[in-house]
Structure 1
Amino acid sequence: MTKTITFTTVLLLSTAVAYAQPAQPPAGGTPGAAQAERPPQRERDPRTMGGGDCSANPYNCKDTPNPLPNNPSVFIEEMTWMDVRDALAEGKTTAIITTGGIEPNGPWLVTGKHNYVNRANCEAVARKLGNALCAPNIEYVPEGSIEPPSGHMLSPGTISLREDTFRAVLTDVAHSLKMHGFKNIIFIGDSGGNQGGQRAVAEELNKRFNGDAVVAHVQEYYTYGVVSEHMQKQGITEGKSDGLHDDPIITLNMFIADPKSVRYDERVKAGKATINGVDLSNRAKATELATKVVEFRAQYTADAIKKAIANKGTLPAPPPPTRLPGQ
């Protein structure tokens, strides 16, 4: 036992002495010489854009012509950075920020209902305006308390944001677009719970930007009562409500974006392609009506956007819209 302790003590002392010795410089130089010999970093080329360095490839330079034909899309996420740059230079300086939601919508409609609606409508609105692009849709919005669950959060599949998180996302997206040169930044939301946050953020940013860009919330996009009245003249007459978070207008608006989003083929096969007494099983007729829904909403919203831009900000809140069961 004594020998073991003595050996261990000697080993520990030897190790301590070794660590106490000053570090020896590398052969042929002094400490830090290797770092000092590194070439200085090259300054970033001020023309750099596109995710790389301008000096590495001319396609990373802000003034390099786009090597591809004009991109006809109005969705920023479907465009290259050069496409967006060129669109801005051509005068497409209005950006539309849509907000949707992930929530329960009965047995027929998928949880991304509002996001499908926005996909169809934003393109139509942008083309009506002629000088606009669609920012990526904001899919996650306030849907109720997360814990304990409330509102739509009581149903599986729902994803909710806190109100302050939602407003922070709106703020950063709008600010990003402003920094790239967009002069008019428009919020439109397809869900009732989105409206207050959009209005508050638009008003705050409009003050902060102080004329450098107009930020406006356009409430008129979310006026399903007006759309319903118009579509009654087009032949949609609802009967007794099915009591679902669904209705013919929003079903048709989703259908034009993607029939799968309303489980169309399965419903027709099962004899379930009706909502609130409106039969949608005739595909050609459903397509015709869906096109009219999008056309009306796009024109109504585009007109409201023009008024908001002329007003240099959000217009006074209109009377509360008639909120149908499906919205």
Structure 2
Amino acid sequence: MKRMLVALLTMPLLAASASAQAGAGGAGGGAGGAGNAQAAAARAAAANKPRTIEGINTVWLEELTQPEFRDMLKDGYTTVLIMTGGVENNDGNLSMNKHNINNRLHGELLARKMGKTLVAPLVTLEPGNAGNTIQPGRAGPMISQATFISLLYDMGNYLRSMGFKEIYYLGDSGGNMRGQQAAADSLTKVYADSPDRVYFKHIAEYYNHTSVVQPYIQNELKIPEGIKIGASTGTSGLHEELSIDATLALADPVSIRYEQRKKVGQDEINGIKFQSLAWLQDLGRKIADLRVKTTLDAINAYRATLPKP
């Protein structure tokens, strides 16, 4: 009885709200439609006015004003990076935000190295399955694979509509690779016959921890880290390795709990002692440069296959 009463009381409110929205001219004609058209025209005119203030030096799309972005696009900033990370269990020393911190670091470096390239807002959640079981304290949140693919598809499609011509998907987490490839492939197929050529590409080479970074540390730098090349866990028994500690230390030492670990003698990983924060950050710069070069080489190789303008 109580539920029925609430429903009866609510119905007039919903009807009044719907009537008010219709009267505002959302999809209707008449004076409301004309008013909306005038407002849209005024907004378009304002968007096309010359800027009266100086812009800022950033590669992050969300930090720009609309006129700043408009002018950069006209100046040839038609390449954009979609970078995906995640929030996951990285054991006792590392922030669950590890992948996103890495993307913030490498996205900045890569976009500036490429030139006339912007970075879309970071995709900070990765695919995963919640299941039916409650697990207090588990890492996350995550989203379904289907949602992840849809999100990446929609982002790429919208960035296309904003005027970008080259749209690259880069993932810092292994579980993101399939979704990125699926989104890029789908968009490529949808717009295959479009006269406005836009290129969507998953750059798998960006995820190069085991294929490039581990051999570099052990074989070139001769640092005998206790982790098998290709593995994600070493002698410390943690989902953590020296290369990750190094780049995170460069971006944000708190994310690896550097001072807290040093205080209790845990400032090491897989048998390698952190000589100092400066030492670890210097290693991080070398690794970041290597990851950026590997990624840029892959992008340039792909660009070489594209039709000449």
Q: TM-score, normalised by structure 1?
A: 0.75
Q: Deviations over 1:2-33 (max 9, x none)?
A: xxxxxxxxxxxxxxxxxxxxxxxxxxxxxxxx
For residue 128 of structure 1, give the secondary structure of its aligned residue in structure 2: helix
Q: Given the alignment of the two structures, is residue 305 of structure 1 paired with residue 305 of structure 2, yes or no?
A: no
Aligned mates of 1:38, 1:222 — CA distance in 2: 52
For residue 215 of structure 1, give the secondary structure of its aligned residue in structure 2: strand
8 A Cα contact 2:206 2:294, kept in partner: yes
Aligned mates of 2:290, 2:31 — CA distance in 1: 68
Greater relative contact order, per chain length (Cα 8 Å cut-off, separation 6+) = 1
Q: Deviations over 1:179-230 (max 9, x none)?
A: 0100000000011110011011101101212262100000000121211212
8 A Cα contact 1:184 1:309, kept in partner: no
1:183 equivalent among 148, 160, 165: 165
Residue in structure 2 matched with residue 296 of structure 1 by the alignment: 290
For the structure 1 residues 158 and 295, does the alpha-carbon distance in structure 2 shift closer, same or farther, using more than 3 Å as the test?
Answer: same
Q: Given the alignment of the two structures, is residue 222 of structure 1 paired with residue 200 of structure 2, yes or no?
A: no
8 A Cα contact 1:216 1:309, kept in partner: no
Q: Given the alignment of the two structures, is residue 100 of structure 1 paired with residue 85 of structure 2, yes or no?
A: yes
Post-superposition offset of 1:311: 3.2
For residue 157 of structure 1, give the secondary structure of its aligned residue in structure 2: coil
2:70 equivalent among 71, 75, 85: 85
Q: Given the alignment of the two structures, is residue 72 of structure 1 paired with residue 57 of structure 2, yes or no?
A: yes
8 A Cα contact 2:90 2:96, kept in partner: yes
Aligned mates of 1:305, 1:278 — CA distance in 2: 33
Q: Given the alignment of the two structures, is residue 237 of structure 1 paired with residue 231 of structure 2, yes or no?
A: no
8 A Cα contact 2:247 2:281, kept in partner: no
Residue type matched to 2:213 in 1?
V
Residue in structure 1 matched with residue 118 of structure 2 by the alignment: 133
Aligned mates of 1:241, 1:224 — CA distance in 2: 17
- After superposition, residues 90-169 of structure 1 pair within 5 angstroms as 90-143=75-128, 145-148=129-132, 156-169=138-151
For residue 82 of structure 2, give the secondary structure of its aligned residue in structure 1: strand
Larger helix fraction of residues: 2
Aligned mates of 1:134, 1:154 — CA distance in 2: 35
2:256 equivalent among 251, 258, 262: 262
8 A Cα contact 1:97 1:135, kept in partner: yes
Aligned mates of 1:122, 1:284 — CA distance in 2: 22
Post-superposition offset of 1:281: 4.4
Post-superposition offset of 1:106: 0.8
Aligned mates of 2:271, 2:139 — CA distance in 1: 27
For residue 88 of structure 2, give the secondary structure of its aligned residue in structure 1: coil
- Structure of higher CA gyration radius: 1
8 A Cα contact 1:214 1:309, kept in partner: no
1:247 equivalent among 241, 245, 258: 241
Aligned mates of 1:291, 1:217 — CA distance in 2: 25
Q: Deviations over 1:85-134 (max 9, x none)?
A: 12111111111000001111010001111000100001111111112111
Post-superposition offset of 1:312: 4.5
8 A Cα contact 2:249 2:277, kept in partner: no
8 A Cα contact 2:167 2:199, kept in partner: yes
**Bigger mean CA offset, 79-88 vs 168-177:** 79-88
- Taking only aligned residues, the RMSD between alpha carbons, in angstroms, comes to 2.4
Q: Given the alignment of the two structures, is residue 174 of structure 1 paired with residue 156 of structure 2, yes or no?
A: yes
Instruction: Could you tell me which runs of 5 or more consecutive residues in structure 1 were left unpaired when the two chains were aligned.
Output: 1-35, 55-59, 314-327
Residue in structure 2 matched with residue 30 of structure 1 by the alignment: none
Aligned mates of 1:39, 1:259 — CA distance in 2: 55
Residue type matched to 2:305 in 1?
N
- Residue-pair matches, total: 266
Residue in structure 2 matched with residue 9 of structure 1 by the alignment: none
Post-superposition offset of 1:63: 2.2
Residue in structure 1 matched with residue 37 of structure 2 by the alignment: 43
Q: Given the alignment of the two structures, is residue 286 of structure 1 paired with residue 273 of structure 2, yes or no?
A: no
For residue 289 of structure 1, give the secondary structure of its aligned residue in structure 2: helix
Post-superposition offset of 1:62: 2.7
Residue type matched to 2:224 in 1?
T
